[in-house]
Structure 1
Amino acid sequence: MRIYVKVYHVQGEVLVAACDEELLGKTFREGELKLEVKERFYKGELVEADELGKLLEKATIVNLTGERCVDKAIELGYVDADRVLRIQGVPHAQIAKMIW
């Protein structure tokens, strides 16, 4: 199962945006919440979900959308399952690492 991953380097930060392959380009709404899985933000390299771990190690900011991406981050201990936002059933998680 593959995911799209795009890495940004901005002002000393490493931002990783990742989404499940089939979610790219879709929009999800629930109440006041809206989640747009925009190609210009998420569409980078298409990789196996298992490759996400090495990118999360280096990232300081992370945006994850989809079951495979979020589940992998939970499995690796980067995301608390109780803190995952779901919009129309689609999981979304964000990570900000504090580096001292």
Structure 2
Amino acid sequence: MIVNERDTQEGLLVAVCDEDVLGETFEEGDLSLTVTEEFYGGDAVEEDAVVESLAQADVANIVGTRAVELAVEEGFIDEANVLEVGTTLHAQLLRMQ
């Protein structure tokens, strides 16, 4: 998976995607999701590093079947809040403080 971390005014923003979805566009009805290198590009990491990044995130955007499944398995995302966009999955995390 690929992880990109950046500090923002809202806190730590973590973007995670499966490697095979980077650069792809997915559509479902009126919804279109482009997984850009600019936003999602970063370091290829193992699953444990993804979990560590999500644990620190104030905001996270997660794209790709495996990345979203991992976020659900680890309790970061409720499965009911996962969107199917074309042939992939997408979820967002916002940690309120």
The TM-score bracket by the shorter chain reads over 0.9
Q: Which residue of 1 aligns with 2:80?
A: 82
Q: Which residue of 2 aligns with 1:23?
A: 21
1:1-100 maps to which residues of 2 (within 5 A)? Answer: 3-11=1-9, 13-99=11-97
Which deviations, in whole Å up to 9, do the C-alpha atoms of 1:18-63 show, x marking residues without a partner?
1000000000112100000000000100111232111111100000
Q: Displaced runs of 4+ in structure 1, greater than 6 A?
A: none
RMSD (Å), alpha carbons: 1.0
Q: Aligned AA for 2:2?
A: Y
Give SS of 1:70's match.
helix
Count of aligned pairs between the two proteins: 97
**Contact conserved, 1:50 with 1:72, CA < 8 A, in 2?**
no
Question: Normalising to structure 1: TM-score of the pair?
Answer: 0.92
Q: Aligned AA for 1:66?
A: G
Identity of matched residues, %: 41
Unaligned runs of 5+ in 2: none
**Contact conserved, 1:49 with 1:68, CA < 8 A, in 2?**
no
Unaligned runs of 5+ in 1: none
Give SS of 1:74's match.
helix
Question: Normalising to structure 2: TM-score of the pair?
Answer: 0.95
**Contact conserved, 1:79 with 1:93, CA < 8 A, in 2?**
yes
